[in-house]
Amino acid sequence: QSVLTQPPSASGTPGQRVTISCSGSRSNIGSNYVYWYQQVPGMAPKVLMYRNDERPSGVPDRFSASKSDTSASLAISGLRSEDEADYFCAAWDDGLSVWMFGGGTKLTVL
């Protein structure tokens, strides 16, 4: 059972803006950076956002993220068909000394 809680699914039409939430606790999101990963079927996850809201080079600025207290969110604007993938949040947990992952959100572009 994942300690970081994400909605199992999200959807939108091309051009729309969608957000994916990630809820944790004081010992993980509340104390540490949040990372977001994108995974397409059959491939390893790829880092999408780091240190709460920073984008690696090569990630379009349509992707943005934020963190507040013990929750975080990922936003995708100008939705495109290639954004269809699974999205995971992650944060280090100081209490358990482990990396925590969210259960993942499957994004469907309608």
Partner 1 sequence: QVQLQQSGPGLVKPSQTLSLTCVISGDSVSSDRAAWNWIRQSPSRGLEWLGRTWYKSKWSYDYAVSVKSRITVTPDTSKNQFSLHLSSVTPDDSAVYYCAREDVGYGNNQFAFWGQGTLVTVSS
By the rule CB under 8 A, 55 interacts with partner 1: no
Cα separation of 66 and 15, whole Å?
A: 21
Alpha helix (H) residue ranges in 15-80: none
**Which residue from 2, 21, 31, 70 is in contact with partner 1, where contact means CB under 8 A?**
2
**Which residue from 24, 28, 87, 104 is in contact with partner 1, where contact means CB under 8 A?**
104
Measured from the CB atom, the residue of 47 and 110 that comes closer to partner 1 is 47
69 alpha carbon, distance to own chain's centre: 16
Cα separation of 37 and 30, whole Å?
A: 19
By the rule CB under 8 A, 72 interacts with partner 1: no
CB of 11 to partner 1, least distance (A): 20
- Asked whether 18 and 76 are in contact (CB, 8 A), the reply is yes
Phi then psi for 82, rounded to 5 degrees?
-75, -5
**Which residue from 15, 17, 47, 75 is in contact with partner 1, where contact means CB under 8 A?**
47
By the rule CB under 8 A, 50 interacts with partner 1: yes
**Which residue from 15, 96, 108, 110 is in contact with partner 1, where contact means CB under 8 A?**
96
